[in-house]
Structure 1
Amino acid sequence: MNAGSQTRQGADWAQDRLRRMGARLAPGAGGFLGWWGHNLAAWLPLRVRRVLGFDRGRLLLQLHEQSLQLRLQQGGQLHELGSIPAVALDAVVDPLAPLLPPRLADLPRWLLLPASAGLRRRLALPAAAAERLRDVVGFEIDRQTPFTADAVAFDARVLGRRDSDGMLDTELVVVPRQGLDPQLAALGPLAQSLAGIDVAGGAGVPLGVNLLPPAARRHHGDPFRFWNLALVAIAVLAVAATMWQLLGNRRAAADDLEQTIARHAAAARAAATQRQTLIELTEGQAFLDRTRAERPTTLEVIDELTRRLPDSTYLEKLAIEDSTLTMIGLSREAPSLIQRLQGSPLWRAPALTGALIPDPASGRDRFTLTAELGPAAPPQPAARPREEADNGQ
């Protein structure tokens, strides 16, 4: 088995899987996937498509009267390679091996039958039939052709899908074995190397069917399979390494962010503490300022006492504690001190504390007098007698 046969086998397997997947997903999805894959591959340069195995092509063998015509099909293009005499096909070894370059020798080989050799019938089938299209059309041979399924080589292809009812438009291609067997015999040893049998359509372009039974097809391996697997492994490792690197970068960035947040949080806490301290100091200073503004100064209190106390009175002690003014002294006019101190704007409610104690040495009375610092309370209006209130009403 050569490498070209394995390549064609891989392509046939992939196409069959895509077609079955399309039948499971939605009617016509297989055709869409095939069309999508071919269009994506068309964006690649021709050399790249050949290296990747997308457009390696296939070798078409077509028998004429006394010669074998060789053509190379790549996509929808046919390239004439030449012809060899039919008598050379009787060689025991592969007659094409010494004639073809290595890049063509391993391509899958297909026998191309003329359009007149086949019978074509269009069929409308349910979309689910795309999964096993060859088996389904095998039951239609007796009804659609004058042959039995054992007497023909057949295959089918999907032409499209109807939008109205979702049915598949397919085409059954049938070639009688009595016309196919002589051509296979004329190929000699080449018949064993065939990957498929196709039928020529318009302008000599193959229809895209394979009349050869699956068991008789020469399977081709992919010569680039090892390299493709190696590239896939490298790609997987590269993606894994990239993701691991990205994860590491994200972790490092998260750690840096966490450290930055921790540093900023400590600074924020310190700033908040300082701000609270400043607020407390400001509020305390404002409270002291308000308290000082509400109370008279010591000099004002002493000046007011000097003007209000008589000359026969002197103080032994003058104390200001919080808002309480305390005076201890001696005076010959102690009973009248309350009256003298009343009405001052610097204090209010002056009163004697305790009894007056006579001092024999000075002939004066010892007194203790207290008052509340601050402006005097405004006088309350006197209540009218009940009779005046009643008369006013």
Structure 2
Amino acid sequence: MSGVRDTLQRFRARLGPGPRSFFAWWGQALATWLPARWRVVLGLTGDRLLFQRQDDEIEMSWLEGTQRHPLARLPATVSPDDLRALLGSRLAELPRWWLVPAGMALRRRLLLPAAAADRLRDVLTFELDRQTPFTANDACFDARVVGVREDAQLDVELAAVQKAAFVDGLSRLGALSQGLAGADVEDAGGAPLGVNLLPEASRVARQAPRRGLHAVLASVAVIAVVFAAWAVLDNRRAAADAFAARVDSRADAARQVAAQRQQLVDLVAGTTTLNQTSARRPTALEVMDEVTQRLPDNTYLEKLAIEGDRLTLIGFSPEASGLVARLQGSPLWRNPALSGALQPDPRTRMDRFTMTAELLGKQDPAAATQGGADAAGRD
């Protein structure tokens, strides 16, 4: 056993010095309260002791991160007390795992939908009898997510051992089979696969040393943080109230100024729009002059009305059916047309007509061009 003690002494040195001060001890204790995923990411833990039966001895190794270091070969009759005395306080705190031999476990690769990630074990309970010759009641099983494919499916590796074989192999560890934190499977390279076949009821969770004292210190820290947050919040609330009072004192004046400014903006915008509209439209005098030039001398008007962009002509003419052609091509309007049927007037022996047209803007080059084209077409 002296060789075993020398080997363990070297590995104790690799663990680094123990907590030499209150703050170092407290930091290590607080780290044990973090979730397991955080501890792994921060590199605070993850080490464990692995045990595997080899012939008449038990091989003990130390898993440091992803590296497995052989420590010693122990007699099969070693007890947990003997192991604790042999390891010392530092190594004895590491969780103990059984490393299931590679040839003992049945491994399968599966593709599962991404939604199965949250309840992976429940899904595998239904898939186990389809993927292995075992049922969920006849096997110890677990799985790990190897990766996520581009189609969002999970690449999962299932590991299962028949329950009877699992119990028999676990009993070969003797007294060390008690107090295990898990049972992993050895892969082809001798490293743990990353699963835990040990039933949850049989797993031993690590307890932080001096847990009561840790709870008191954590409570004090939480109370201090809450008090500091309350003080900051109270200061911010007082500052916000003072600022709100200053804002309210000037709010009425600001609203009046904003209302007057909006009225001025609306007035300027309305005036600008009215001026632009008036500037674009032809004047009534221009429309009357254009109508007078285009109507024949034997035609007279009873009414000329301009309503918005609509020009309406009502009058009498012996050639009322030809007035539409005469009014086409004007740069001041477009789409002249008779509105309704011609009505013969026996008194004047003329036809009473009603014509409408759509007024154009003065500066509408497209309309002017179209009007010119219409005039050229008539010629």
Work out which of the two has the higher radius of gyration on C-alpha atoms and give 1 or 2.
1
Q: Report which structure shows greater RCO (CA 8 Å, sep ≥6).
A: 1
TM-score (norm 2): 0.49
